Amino acid sequence: MSAPGIATIPPSLKGAIQKYIRVAVEHDKRDPVIAYYCRLYAMQQAMAIDKSSPEARQYLVSLMDFLEKSKNQLKDEQAVHNEIIGQAHVENYALKLFLYADNEDRAGHFGKNVIKAFLTSSLLMDVLTTFGDLSEDIEKNRKYAKWKALYINKCIQSGETPI
């Protein structure tokens, strides 16, 4: 069984979950724990938005099937079976990405990879809300990463040098 792809997300859910499913797809091989929690977060978001239209139900059932299968396949991965370890895993990964982007930014390296790192780290900080309220620090980093990704992107498009 393969993961329900980005193209199959119904229109009623696309705006809310597409970005998290994309991060999941990008991490399926690189870090299956990150992929698992991105899909879990997308599942929860989607269920809160639309679980009654036939298209949404069909998508949600296939996403749930895949999540259950992933959890079984990752039976030796404690971060999937214990959400406290899972939370630490996602948090470390998000912060590592954030620090990479921040260091690159401060070194004057502005590129698509820096924008993407800021953006992905902020999305993973969204995913962290699965485990409860965010700490003040993470909340601050999440806002900064979202703003910075938009800002650098705007500068690159308009030809300005980011400050």
Partner 1 sequence: GSAIGATGSTQASAEQDELSQRLAKLRQM
**Which residue ranges make up the site for partner 1 (CB under 8 A)?**
40, 43-44, 47, 51-52, 57, 60-61, 64, 67-68, 71, 81-83
Q: How far apart are CB 7 and partner 1 at their closest, in Å?
A: 22
Cα(44)–Cα(48) distance, integer angstroms: 6
Cα(75)–Cα(140) distance, integer angstroms: 34
Q: How far apart are CB 137 and partner 1 at their closest, in Å?
A: 25
- Closer to partner 1 by CB, 43 or 127: give it: 43
Cα(13)–Cα(85) distance, integer angstroms: 29
- Closer to partner 1 by CB, 22 or 71: give it: 71
| CB crowding 65-98: b at 16 or more within 10 Å, else e | ebbeebeeebeebebbeebeebbebbbebbbebb
Q: How far apart are CB 36 and partner 1 at their closest, in Å?
A: 10
Consecutive H or E run containing 158? helix 136-158
- Closer to partner 1 by CB, 68 or 160: give it: 68
Q: How far apart are CB 73 and partner 1 at their closest, in Å?
A: 13
Which amino acid, one-letter code, is at 66? F
- Closer to partner 1 by CB, 81 or 112: give it: 81
